[in-house]
Amino acid sequence: MAKKIGVAILGLGVVGSGTYKTLVDHHDFYLKTQQVDITVEAVLDKDLTKMKELEIPQDIIAKSIEEVVANPNVDIVVETIGGIGAAKDFVTTALREGKTVVTSNKELICKFSHELERIAKRNHCGLYYEASCVGGVPIIRTLLDGLQANTISEMMGIFNGTTNYVLTKMAQEGKSYEAALKEAQALGFAEADPTNDVEGFDSMFKLSILSSIAFHTKVPYTKISREGITKITETDILFGEKLGYALKLLAIGKNTDKGIEVRVHPTFISNTHPLASVNNSFNAVFVKGDAVGDVMLYGHGAGSLPTASAVVSDVLFAATHTDIKYSTFKNTSTAENNVKFVSDFTSAYYVRIFVEDVTGSLAKISGVFSKCGISICAVSQNGTATDGKIELAVITYKTSENAMKNALAKINNSGFGSVQTVIHIEDEPKA
C-alpha cells in the first residue's frame, strides 16, 4: 500500500512553480518508484494570476497560512517565498502545528536555523532545506548521508551562477564586467539589482549553511569575510590566464587546528583544479575529507526545475524516512563554546597597481611589500603607459591578510602608486 502524503506550497515564484509542476507531473512515477502517493493539497500565494497560469484547481487554493496548517491532509509544507518576513512567520506557524517543512530559503536557514530547529524538535516534525544551497546539487544530503564517515577539512565552491556566468563571459569573450553583467541580466541570469549576487551575499549565506553542516558546528554568516566581483577587470583575468589561473568567485571554508576560516572572494585557482572548468551558470562544491580525499559535485545552482528537484527530493525523503524527523540538524545550529574562528588568514595574492612611469617605481613598490614582511614571487609590467602611469602586476607568496592590508594602505598613501585590484590565489603562487 502506498503511503498518502499531502503537500502545501507557499509561494508560487520561480521555485514554487517548478515544485508544483514537478510534483504533479511525477505523481505516478513517485507512486511506482517511492511507493508514496503525493498530492498537492494546498497552495498559497497573493498573486492569483499564477494560479491560472499553472491551472491550479480552485479547491486547493488557500486563503491564509492558518487555513493551510488546519488542513488535516497537509503533511508537508513547502516554503518557497524567500526572505525573512512572511516566510519566517509561515514556517514557524507550520512547525508549531507539527507540519514538516521543506524550504529553499537560504537567508531564513542561515539566520534562524537555531530557532526553527528548536520549534521543529519540540513539535516532532522535520525541517529540510537541500534547495537552499546550490540548487539541484544534492550537497546537503551528500554531507549528511554520503560523506559523514569523514572529518571535512576543507570546502570550496562556486555557489553563485550569476557571478560565474559573468566571470566566464569576461574570460572567454574578453567582455568587460559591465557588458557581461548586462548580458546576464538580459538572459535572466542576473536580477535588475544584482547586489546580492555580485557582492557575494548569496554565496555567503550558502557558505554559512554548508560549512555548519560540514564542520558540525554553527558557522554564523557574520564570521565570513566577504568581497564581491565588481572591481574585477578583463585585464586581471587575462593576466591570471597567462600564469595558468582561472578566476572564480569562491566560497571557502577551512577547518584547521587554528580554527574555522570562512571567506567569499574572487580567487585565482590553478586551471587544472576541477573547479576551474566549472563555467557559465554552473555551480560546484569541492570537499576534502580525511578518508575520501577530494570530492566534487557539479550542477545547476539555480533555476525553476533544478531547485524544484532539490525541494521534491527533500519532500520524498521526508515522506519515506519517518524515523529521522529533524535529522538535517546535527550539531549545526548552535556554535560550540570552544570553536575558534580565524580572522587573519594567509593567502598568496595577485595585486595590480598603477605607478608613476619613472625609474625606481618598481623598486619603491617592492620595498613597501618587503617592509610589511611580504615576499614577492614575481612582478611584471603590464601593457603601455596611460597618463604617465604604468601598470604592475605583483604576485606574492603566502602572507597574512593583515600584512597585505597594511601594504596596500601604504602604497595608496605613498603618492607613487594606486592599487587597482587585489585577488587571492588559492594555490602556490606562479611566476
Q: Which residues are catalytic?
A: 206
Nearer to its own copies, 67 or 244 (CB): 244
| Cα–Cα nearest to 127, from 298, 279, 327 | 327
32 burial (CB, 10 Å; 0-12 / 13-18 / 19+) is exposed
Instruction: Using DSSP, state whether 228 is helix, strand or coil.
Output: coil
State phi, psi for 356 to the nearest 5 degrees: -60, 140
Q: Quote the distance between the C-alpha of residue 336 and its chain's center.
A: 23
Nearer to its own copies, 311 or 372 (CB): 311
Q: What is the β-pairing status of strands 293-300 and 282-289?
A: antiparallel
What's the residue count for the chain? 431
> Which segments of 174-283 does DSSP mark as H helices, in order?
177-186, 195-198, 201-215, 234-242
Sheet holding 100-103, edge to edge: 36-44, 3-10, 76-79, 100-103, 127-128
Nearer to its own copies, 320 or 375 (CB): 320
Cα-Cα-Cα-Cα dihedral sign, residues 74, 79, 80, 85: positive
Instruction: Using DSSP, state whether 289 is helix, strand or coil.
Output: strand
C-beta separation of 48 from 63 below 8 A: no
Q: How many CB atoms lie within 10 A of CB 386?
A: 10
Q: Quote the distance between the C-alpha of residue 157 and its chain's center.
A: 7
Amino acid at 306: P
Q: Please give the Cα distance from 396 to 375 (Å, whole number).
A: 6
| Cα atoms in the 13 Å half-sphere on the side-chain side of 407 | 27
Alpha-carbon distances of 55 from 21, 67, 312, rounded to whole Å? 10, 21, 20
The beta-strand segments (E) located in 45-103 are 76-79, 100-103
C-beta separation of 149 from 143 below 8 A: no
| Cα atoms in the 13 Å half-sphere on the side-chain side of 91 | 31
Q: How many CB atoms lie within 10 A of CB 220?
A: 14
- The residue ranges that bind its own copies (CB under 8 A) are 18, 22, 26, 29-30, 32-34, 130, 136-138, 141-142, 145-151, 216, 274, 277-278, 289-300, 303, 305-306, 308-313, 315-317, 320-324, 327, 330-331
| Cα–Cα nearest to 391, from 343, 357, 425 | 357
Q: Please give the Cα distance from 342 to 350 (Å, whole number).
A: 22
